[in-house]
Structures are given as structure tokens and as C-alpha cells.
DNA sequence: ACACCTTCTGTTATGAGATAACATAACTAG
DNA sequence: CTAGTTATGTTATCTCATAACAGAAGGTGT
């Protein structure tokens, strides 16, 4: 996580200005369509995730929450994250205890990440879980959610 | 995790008696073969994992460590777990913050779990990561480790 | 045997991550 | 407008994990 090399963070630059505004508006629309409420704290946490270029720890979000440097209380942020995950706007990366905004259109309830141990980037990709789901079915499991986290080195860090 | 239903815990019954002894001996042998040392605390933690029929939290292991009810100190157990994971004798299940003994012969450095949200069982299975590894390669990632956790309901809990 | 190095353990303390519980406020349907 | 539901604010606490350092145990060369 930046501990091993000095490559620039992240594949995703983090959204700013109008791109950020658009992403938030899109989230508003999706909430409106399903009668969910993108309230102020939820919107703020989503904004922080979208602005960032790397997975964010919950306490990073807590610290950055207030406009003038005041932190949030932990439950405020954890509740917002729970909401954002439920709606597919964000994902938790278990092996990092960190959160990223969903970068993939449409909510599949499935997440897969390529995590660079060098620069800390976490790239979401569209998973093909065919093989695993058939293994699960064979074992009699009814799978509701499935997550995959692959650790390694991104292209830039492999090269550098 | 037992919160939703009353099915018996676990697909794996937990080892006892000679089966447990054999498993520990096998671990000794594998350590000896690679000049690693299965020291007393490491062996004890492995024993606790093998005896259990469900994923064990670190602090469960800490509490159960001593023969006469004395707990271990946290670093004792965490160090042992680190060792056991490194040698492939145990796996951490990220989404549970819990640990299981490896149930699959040979250490692939890859773990995949079917986790029952109903009874708490966590069944390890042999993953086929072909699809994901090719997606990673296409993105330029050099993958070193890969973990997968599927949540759902086991056969018994689906039926009941 | 010995000195040396390395690895592992014991211990104290603290840092990081997450949630319980309860009171209050804001929406929303009738 | 009032009853029910959903969300927030706040305090406190709980769970999970590691830093740091001293000392013991094992291994190696002479």
C-alpha cells in the first residue's frame, strides 16, 4: 500500500467538478427510482469515495467528513456505508478493511477486485463466476453474494 | 451465523482422538520437511482449529488456548495464525474475521469458501480461477494470491 | 564447549475497526 | 395532523489486531 514503491496511486483518478456532480446526480436518480433516500450523510460519504483515487478506510472517511475539518461520529459513516453497499454504490474490500465506490454500471451484487500490493490501487472488474457458481451448486449451496479479491501488482508497478 | 436458524453447526465435524493426532503428526512432518518449526503455541492453535467444527475467531482461540482455562496473550495466537497461514495449514476468512484449518490437501495458496449465513459453516472448495486469472492478465496484473468468499445457504439450511 | 546469530516467545500497552443502545428528528401514508 | 416508519445524533463500549522490547530457544562454525 505505497509501502513498497513510489508509483502514483490508483488507476482511477478520483472524480472532480462536473464529473463528480454527474455521478452524484446519477446516484440521486437511481435512489429516486427505487424510493430510497440519498440523504446528506449518505451523499457526503459517496462523494468522498468518488473523489478518492484509492480505497478509503472508514476512519479516513470519518476524519474527512466535515466541511471544515470536523470529523463525523463513527456510526454516521458506517451507516452511510451500509446503505451505499446495499444499493450497490460502494463495495467493501475485506482484505483491506476499506471501501471503494462501485465503478461498474448496474448493480450485480457481485464484486471482484485486483488489488496492487505496491501502489494500493484497487481495480474493480466484471467477474465471471461461472466456474465457482457451478461448484457451489454441486455442493448444494444457494449463493447470495460472492466476492473475490486478487492481490498482486498492477501493470505500472510490475513494469516499474 | 446461527442467528437465523437452528441447524447443527458445520459440515466438518471437527477432529478428535486419533484423527486429530494424525492431522497434527502430518503437520509436524510437513514442517520437518521444510525446516519449519511447529512449536508448542503453533501446534496448540492448529489443534484448536482442527478440533472445531466452525470458523474460529482469534479471541475464541485466545480464550481456549490454555489447558486449564488460562487465556493466551493476543500476540501469541496471532503469531501462530500467521505461521499457519503462511504454511497453508490455516486460512483466514476475511468476511468473518475468523480462521479455519485447511481442509484441502496440498497448499495451493488459493482459498475459496462457501459460507452458510444460516448455520455458520464454512466449506472450503477447490477453486477454478481460470476466468479471473485471465481477466487479471488482460488488465496487466501479476496476481500473487486470490481469495473468494461466497455467502449463501448450505444444502441442509436450504432444505430446512 | 563457546560465542554468535537468528528465530521464536512472553509481556505490556495501545492502535484500528465496528457496533449497541437510546433519544430525537424527518419523511410519508392515511 | 397524527401515527408509523425510517434516518440521524450521541455516548459509550466492544471486537480485532499489532507495536515494541526483553528474554529464551535453537542452530552454526570454530
Tens of pLDDT, residue by residue, chain B (160 residues) = 444 566 665 567 889 999 999 999 999 999 999 999 999 999 999 999 999 999 999 999 999 999 888 999 999 999 999 999 999 999 999 999 999 999 987 666 688 999 999 999 999 998 899 999 999 999 999 999 999 999 999 999 988 6
Which residues does chain A have within 8 Å of residue B143's beta carbon, measured at their own beta carbons? 114, 150-152
Contact residues on chain A for B144, CB-CB shorter than 8 A:
117, 151-153
* SS3 (DSSP) at B156: helix
pLDDT tens digits, A2-52: 445 666 655 678 899 999 999 999 999 999 999 999 999 999 999 999 999
B35 secondary structure, DSSP code: T
Strand D–CB A73 distance below 7 A: yes
Nucleotides of chain C in contact with protein CB (under 7 A) are: 7-13, 16-21, 27-28
Q: Is the dihedral of CA B37, B98, A57, A8 positive or negative?
A: positive
- Rounded to a whole number, what is the distance in Å from the CA of A69 to chain B's nearest CA? 32
Interface of B with A (CB under 8 A): 94-95, 112, 114, 116-117, 123, 125-133, 135-136, 139-155, 158
A1 pLDDT above the threshold of 50? no
Cβ neighbours of residue A11 closer than 8 Å, sequence gap 6 or more = A121, A123, A154
Residues 57-76 on chain B lying near strand C, CB distance under 7 A: 73-76
Q: Global pTM?
A: 0.93
Amino acid at each position: 500500500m505505497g509501502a513498497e514503491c513510489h508509483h502514483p496511486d490508483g488507476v482511477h483518478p478520483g472524480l472532480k467538478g462536473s464529473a463528480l456532480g454527474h455521478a452524484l446526480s446519477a446516484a440521486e436518480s437511481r435512489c429516486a427510482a427505487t424510493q430510497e433516500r440519498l440523504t446528506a450523510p449518505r451523499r457526503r460519504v459517496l462523494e468522498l469515495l468518488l473523489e478518492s483515487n484509492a480505497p478509503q478506510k472508514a476512519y479516513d472517511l470519518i476524519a474527512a467528513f466535515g466541511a471544515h475539518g470536523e470529523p463525523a461520529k463513527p456510526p454516521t459513516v458506517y451507516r452511510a456505508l451500509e446503505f451505499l453497499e446495499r444499493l450497490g454504490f460502494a463495495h467493501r474490500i475485506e482484505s483491506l478493511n476499506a471501501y471503494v465506490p462501485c465503478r461498474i454500471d448496474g448493480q450485480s451484487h457481485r464484486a471482484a477486485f485486483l488489488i496492487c500490493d505496491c501502489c494500493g490501487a484497487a481495480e474493480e472488474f466484471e467477474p465471471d463466476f461461472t466456474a465457482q457458481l457451478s461448484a457451489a451448486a454441486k455442493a448444494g449451496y444457494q449463493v447470495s453474494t460472492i466476492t473475490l479479491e486478487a492481490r498482486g501488482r498492477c501493470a505500472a508497478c510490475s513494469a516499474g
